[in-house]
Amino acid sequence: MRFLSVWDGVINENTTLKVSVFALSISLITIAAALAFTSKKPALVVERSCFSKVVKTQESALSKNEIEAFLKMAVEKRFNTEASEVDPFLSLKQRELRRMEQDELKNRNMKQAIFVNQVKIDDDKILLDCDRLISVGEIRSAFSFKLIAKVEATYRSETNPYGLVLVDIDNPNKESRQK
């Protein structure tokens, strides 16, 4: 008789454990679904000031206006003599090319400035129509300057809010002048 009462206790415990495992599995699935649903919502950002308000967050995808603004700034940083030396908008290769070009201009007592007039963004390349101003002392000359640029995406930061880096920039008419 005792064996039957012990066996009844084991069966009751197994049934309780099965129900508990089933209930916990359902809870886990529900929590996972709720987590997946809430993770797709944009983050709520609250600006703290005298009057707190909700700030709208921007999408991480880059618009054409952001790319144009970045290119205007990066091209000026790349070519202008008066631009700062250390710049997060330029790749290491472009920084080195800028340094060598500026050293050559300095040896010739020249300065240059680039003004971007138009940015045309195609699927595979970016065309820039610029004006190049070169000055030697008080003498200044302006030239039309066409460029093809390549950019790469990187992380957005305080120093690089666009999240882009100018990787390569080239003059398409360079080959025709060298011939």
Rounded Cα distance between 137 and 108, Å, is: 10
- What is the model's pLDDT at position 14? 95
CA distance 134 to 137: 10
Alpha-carbon gap, residue 56 to 67, rounded angstroms: 21
Q: How confident is the model at residue 22 (pLDDT cuts 50, 70, 90)?
A: very high
- pLDDT tens for 79-127 read 888 887 667 888 889 889 989 999 999 999 999 999 999 999 887 788 9
- pLDDT in the model for residue 179: 38
User: What's the confidence (pLDDT) of residue 60?
Assistant: 61
Q: φ, ψ for residue 149 (rounded to 5)?
A: -115, 150
pTM of the model: 0.60
Amino acid 51: pLDDT: 64
Question: What pLDDT, on the 0 to 100 scale, is given for residue 21?
Answer: 97
What's residue 53's pLDDT?
A: 58
Q: What is the mean pLDDT of residues 58-64?
A: 68
pLDDT (average), residues 37-52? 75
Of the candidates 112, 165, 161, the residue with the CA atom closest to the CA atom of residue 136:
112
> What tens digit of pLDDT does each residue of 137-162 get?
889 899 898 999 988 888 877 788 88
Instruction: Examine the pLDDT at 66 and tell me if it is beyond 90.
Output: no
Instruction: Give the chain's mean pLDDT.
Output: 84
Q: Which CATH superfamily is domain 64-178 in?
A: VirB8 protein (3.10.450.230)
